[in-house]
Amino acid sequence: MTDSSSSLGRTILPAGAALMGTYAGLTAARWAYRRTLPSPLSLPPALDLEPRPVEGPDGRAQCYVRPGTGPPVVLLHSFNAVASSREMQPIAEHLITSTTRPVYALDWLGFGRSDRGSRTYSPALYKRQLYQVLNDVLDAPADVIALSLGGEYAARVALQAAPLVRRLVLVSPTGLAPTQGPSTPGRLGLALADRTGTFELLYHRLTRRASLRDYYARQVFLAPDAIPDALLDYAAQTAQVRGAHRAPLRFVDGTLSIADVADDVYARLYRPTLLLTPSNPGSTVQSFEQLSTTLSSNTRDLSHETLPGGLLPHWEAPGPFFDTVDAFLDLQ
């Protein structure tokens, strides 16, 4: 061995040992932290509706139900680090008090009180989950109100299984921005963080209440004082259960987005569909640059309204939101 190779070996071996030690430490920390976390079913119900489990091929999902008469209304929450049916609380409460319609709200797998096990979280999984609810749980075609990325899956199922859906309301729908997901270096970094366990540990630190309030104030609500404690408190709770990081990782790395959803799905819908976006998105995390092109490609079935507030108008501007949605769904 030459002097240079000996020197290189003396450098690499300690570095390698240090990396192995760091990895072992992260693994031990992750294992120890997991043992302190409760099951997702330890969370209180997100809504004041009857909780009903829905067993499916991909796991057990939580569904909240209010029986009634007439066409059912299905509520679908968004995808983010702390998503759950609590996001849809104002809509559920409005429907319960103002209509006799059956109401169903679904926790997507990997979120809320649904299973959060180690599985392949993908668009195909979520389309199967929604199809099962619409086809097997409901007994009539539904009006579907879906938030953010949840709207992509609602639209895809409505396109592929149109008899199951009467109308769609897509609140702050994703897929209308020029680009989606992180850059290639960002995806590689997330993959490395996943393999080493770093993402899991960081996730639980970054989803504490103070961090979540800052996120909502900067990227979701236009008025920081409009952030409701009911939403913030439940969001912080839902992050601190076993497996809470798994589906959010796939959301962050862009895996859960449907490719070309604006052209391949929204533009081809043939059920009446209302898209709701902020009047002035401001600094919110979503943008809607492709909206006008999408609307012009399907003038028969797509309609659009802007609302005050940010990405959760049913929390921030409930009056205009319910006036618009009630008229579209004939709830008045």
Q: What is the pLDDT of residues 162-199, one digit of tens each?
A: 999 999 999 999 999 987 666 666 676 766 767 778 88
Cβ atoms within 10 A of the Cβ of 191, count?
13
pLDDT score at 205: 87
What one-character-per-residue DSSP string does 81-127 give? TT--GGGGHHHHHHHHHH----EEEEPPTTSTTS---SS---HHHHH
Contact 241, 37 (CB under 8 A): yes
| Host H or E run for residue 6 | helix 3-36
Contacts of 148 (CB under 8 A, 6+ apart): 78, 79, 80, 171, 172, 173, 174, 286, 311
What mean pLDDT is reported for the chain? 89
The residue among 7 and 43 whose pLDDT is bigger is 43
Type of residue found at 119: R
pLDDT score at 9: 46
Q: What percent of the chain has pLDDT over 90?
A: 77
pLDDT in tens, 259-298: 999 999 999 999 999 999 999 988 889 999 999 999 999 9
Contact 101, 95 (CB under 8 A): yes
How far, in Å, CA of 300 to CA of 227, rounded? 36
pLDDT in tens, 19-35: 344 444 455 555 455 56
Query: What HEC string does 202-268 produce?
Result: HHHHHCCHHHHHHHHHHHCCCCHHHCCHHHHHHHHHHHCCCCCCHHHHHHHCCCCCCCCHHHHCHHH
Contacts of 326 (CB under 8 A, 6+ apart): 98, 332
Contact 137, 54 (CB under 8 A): yes
Residue 63 in 3-state DSSP? strand
The residue among 280 and 153 whose pLDDT is bigger is 153
